[in-house]
Chains A and B, each alone.
Chain A
Amino acid sequence: RKEVEQDPGPFNVPEGATVAFNCTYSNSASQSFFWYRQDCRKEPKLLMSVYSSGNEDGRFTAQLNRASQYISLLIRDSKLSDSATYLCVVNGRDDKIIFGKGTRLHILP
Chain B
Amino acid sequence: NAGVTQTPKFQVLKTGQSMTLQCAQDMNHNSMYWYRQDPGMGLRLIYYSASEGTTDKGEVPNGYNVSRLNKREFSLRLESAAPSQTSVYFCASSEWAGPYNSPLHFGNGTRLTVT
Find out whether the CB atom of B103 lies under 8 angstroms from the CB atom of A49.
yes
Of B44, B59, B100, the residue contacting A32 (CB under 8 A) is B100
- A107 CA to B52 CA, complexed, in Å: 43
Of A43, A49, A89, the residue contacting B90 (CB under 8 A) is A43
Find out whether the CB atom of A46 lies under 8 angstroms from the CB atom of B104.
yes
The total of interchain contacts (Cβ-Cβ below 8 angstroms) comes to 53
Find out whether the CB atom of B33 lies under 8 angstroms from the CB atom of A97.
yes
Q: Which of B16-24, B62-70, B71-79, B105-113 contacts A (4 or more CB under 8 A)?
A: B105-113
Number of interface residues of A (CB under 8 A): 21
Q: Which residues of B contact A87 (CB under 8 A)?
A: 42-43
Chain B, interface size category, equals 20 to 34
Q: Which residues of B contact A45 (CB under 8 A)?
A: 106
- A103 CA to B103 CA, complexed, in Å: 19
Chain A residues within 8 Å of B, Cβ to Cβ: 29, 31-32, 34, 42-46, 49, 87, 89, 91, 95-102
Chain B residues within 8 Å of A, Cβ to Cβ: 33, 35, 40-45, 48, 58-59, 90, 94, 97-101, 103-109
25 residue pairs A–B, Cβ–Cβ below 8 Å: A29-B99, A31-B100, A32-B99, A34-B103, A43-B109, A44-B43, A44-B104, A46-B105, A87-B43, A91-B99, A91-B101, A95-B98, A95-B99, A96-B45, A97-B45, A97-B94, A97-B97, A97-B104, A98-B45, A99-B42, A99-B44, A100-B42, A101-B40, A101-B42, A102-B42
